[in-house]
Amino acid sequence: MDRIPCNSCDKRVVPRLWHYRPFLAQIYVLPIRYMKTQHLCPFCGSCMYETGGEVTTIGKLVFALVVIPFTFLLVFFPNAKVDEVMGYYQHYCIVATAVVMYRPVKNWVLRIFKKT
């Protein structure tokens, strides 16, 4: 097995893995971020490095369709009426969904056609 030098105790070790939920891992049932993994030194217990914690596709959609537009509205147009804004919001949702979903859909299509 590959051994990695520990920065604290200078031994070459196989790290122990510790999975945990990062900040904003989940909003109700929506997974916003992937689990994070700490790579711990088995001798001194220090965290050598961390992996994971990236934002999921659902998380990107939540930010693009809810957090960003409503923050923008509240900051720049606090007196806007719902009827006036809904048309723009629908168009914005179509564009934002296309931008966020382009890469995952492209990867799914490529994966499907590679296996068959």
CA distance 92 to 64: 9
Cβ 10 to Zn ion shortest distance, Å: 8
Cβ 113 to Zn ion shortest distance, Å: 46
Asked if 24 interacts with Zn ion (CB under 5 A), we say no
CA 89 to chain centre: 23
Asked if 6 interacts with Zn ion (CB under 5 A), we say yes
Contact 92, 64 (CB under 8 A): no
Q: Which is closer to Zn ion, CB of 1 or CB of 82?
A: 1
Cβ 37 to Zn ion shortest distance, Å: 17
CA distance 34 to 47: 19
Q: Which of residues 33-52 bind Zn ion (CB under 5 A)?
A: 41, 43-44
- Which 3 state secondary structure label does DSSP give 30? strand
Contact 13, 43 (CB under 8 A): yes
Asked if 7 interacts with Zn ion (CB under 5 A), we say no
Asked if 8 interacts with Zn ion (CB under 5 A), we say yes
- Residues that bind Zn ion in the complex, under the rule CB under 5 A: 6, 8-9, 41, 43-44
